[in-house]
Amino acid sequence: MLSALIIIPLVSAVIIGLTPLKEKNTRNLAIVTSVTILAINIALSWQFDFRQEGFQFAQNITWIEWIGLDYHLGIDGLSFPLVLLNSLLTLVAIVATNPTTQRPRLYYSMLFLLSAGAAGAFLAQDLLLFFLFYELEIVPLYFLIAIWGGPKRGYAAMKFLLYTALSGILVLASFLGLVWVTGETTFDYSVLRSHVLPLSTQLWLLVPLLIGIFIKIPIFPFHTWLPDAHVQASTPISVLLAGVLLKLGTYALLRFGVGLFLEGWVYLAPWLAILAGISALYGASCAIAQTDMKKVVAYSSIAHMAYILLAVTATTRLSMTAAVFQMVSHGLISAFLFLLVGMVYNKTGSRDVNYLRGLLNPERGLPVTGGLMILGVMASSGLPGMVGFISEFLVFRGSFPIFPIPTLMCLVGTGLTAVYFLLVINKVFFGRLTESLTQIPPVQWKEHAPAFVLLLLIIAFGVKPDWVIHWSEVQAIALLTGG
């Protein structure tokens, strides 16, 4: 069943790419496929036993024996929410795609390859398999930015490619080193995890892994590819980039960083916590200075992803659960914000906060978009009633007893979230509507539909967080106990 989550998007990518379908049929097929994948995911959730530690629905097929590569899939409480998030956001991205997009077959084909890569990475229980899927998603994302991106798409795509390729190399180096020092002939996660390595060895292997992961997450100072990639990518790609692909990094942090090198992780944790605090403050400070709405959200992503790092460094039961929850929370909220920023850009032709004014105007502005944006900002700022509050509260509550200073730094970052987002809201949505924008086309309700779905989840999980927590709590804690 797990293979379906990878094979269906892969096959769809091939079919859509090679079959001469009409534009409308391509889009419809893509929607049907993504709905099918989401339905499979939901069906999985009915059968998944959240109280059980370890992997479920495992599939293990020897693939390329001589290099130790097995097709080994499994899902646990750590990967389950992320796989679900991947399928949901893939559907959202497809629905949010402009129906008249250029080269639709290539576009949807790349999108499904990306989705398959992410799903594969979350499900892989073989380190080399993980690396394969981790690299697989680089190629389609490169094309998605380079072909359908903004004016500087070439630069952004190449920067993304170089950074992420380097990240992959470092991750691979760590994996190869691990296999070499353990003397194993397989890259199987469970087998490698059973080895207890000396601290110094763990540190040697962990450091390149962390650098590679920090490029992906991204964490300061390895973050510079992200703002460019986000700004140049189209709205649906930004949704996937922020909502899913960054989570590959934090997932790898938990699964491999903590899972494989726990002692080394605990040794480095104080420094990493400080780095998380610095990254949070840096991201927030940069966001305040931005004039492009998308860049504000991009830098906000850097800050919010740092909270995940903070939570993981604390390695308490609460903080580990919080880390997973924050991944889901950030995935939903950042996707929501990028959708709305994309809507503003689509209708007004601009994202410049110094140009846009008064978009909340009920007669000629974008009042619903503005209202949703205010809710999104509230969610990102951690206002109670929404998922952002719960996730950030859990992160800080779980981390403060262990690393109070970095936690306080991140708390300040949360406060700054309200600052930079309110600045944007105040400039862009309040005041008198810009004269040159008095004839912007209205937004149809179906254009807002993906945003409303995400909002529903943001509020639902904010009101009933245990729906998400109980997915991952057992496994998140098991990472610390060797389970």
Partner 1 sequence: MVSTSVKRSKSFLVDEYIARLEKGDALLDDSPQNLVEVVGILKSYGVVLDAYSINLCYIANTQFLKLFPFFKYFNGEVNSNKIAKFIWHDRINYEYAEYCMKSMFWHGGGGLDAYLDTPEFAAETENLIKAYFKYNPLMLGLHKIFPDFLPEQMRQMAYYSGLGQFWRVMSDIFIDLSDSYDRGEIKCIPDVVKFILDGLVADATRPITYTVKVGDQEYNILPESAGLTFLADTAVPYVEAIFFRGTPFTGTVSYNAQAYEIPYDPGMFNYGALYADPLPIGGAGIPPTLLMQDMRHFLPDYLHQLYRENSIRGEGDLRVQICESFQKSMFCVTTAAVQGLAPHSLDTNDAEELTANRKYLRGWLNRIIQSQVIKVNSNTDV
Half-sphere exposure of 409 (CA within 13 A, CB side): 23
Half-sphere exposure of 399 (CA within 13 A, CB side): 35
Which three-class secondary structure state does DSSP give residue 273? Answer: helix
The only residue of 152, 438, 449, 483 in contact with partner 1, by rule CB under 8 A: 438
Q: How far is the CB of 24 from partner 1 (least distance, A)?
A: 25
Query: Residue 432, interface with partner 1 (CB under 8 A)?
Result: yes
Query: Residue 374, interface with partner 1 (CB under 8 A)?
Result: no
Cβ closer to partner 1: 194 or 438?
438
Which three-class secondary structure state does DSSP give residue 52? Answer: coil
Cβ closer to partner 1: 183 or 362?
362
Cβ closer to partner 1: 40 or 374?
374
Give residue 471's identity as a one-letter amino acid code: W
Strand partners, 64: 69
Q: Which two tokens stand for residue 398?
A: 């779980």
Q: Binding-site residue total for partner 1 (CB under 8 A)?
A: 15
CA distances to 95, 192, 287, 327, 408 from 227, in Å: 24, 36, 10, 19, 25
221: preceding bond cis by omega (within 30 degrees): yes
* Residue 226 CB neighbours (<10 A): 27
Pairing of strands 56-64, 69-75: antiparallel
Question: Is there a contact between 90 and 113 (Cβ–Cβ < 8 Å)?
Answer: no
x-or-dash string of contact with partner 1, 335-364, rule CB under 8 A: -----------------------x-xxxxx
Element (H, E) at 286: helix 262-289
Stretch that binds partner 1, among 174-182, 243-251, 424-432, 446-454 (CB under 8 A): 424-432
Query: Residue 198, interface with partner 1 (CB under 8 A)?
Result: no
Q: How far is the CB of 442 from partner 1 (least distance, A)?
A: 5
Q: How far is the CB of 364 from partner 1 (least distance, A)?
A: 5
Query: Residue 425, interface with partner 1 (CB under 8 A)?
Result: no
Cβ closer to partner 1: 38 or 440?
440
Query: Residue 439, interface with partner 1 (CB under 8 A)?
Result: yes
Query: Residue 441, interface with partner 1 (CB under 8 A)?
Result: yes
Cβ closer to partner 1: 363 or 446?
363
Question: Is there a contact between 353 and 428 (Cβ–Cβ < 8 Å)?
Answer: yes
The site for partner 1 (CB under 8 A) is made up of 358, 360-364, 430-433, 438-442
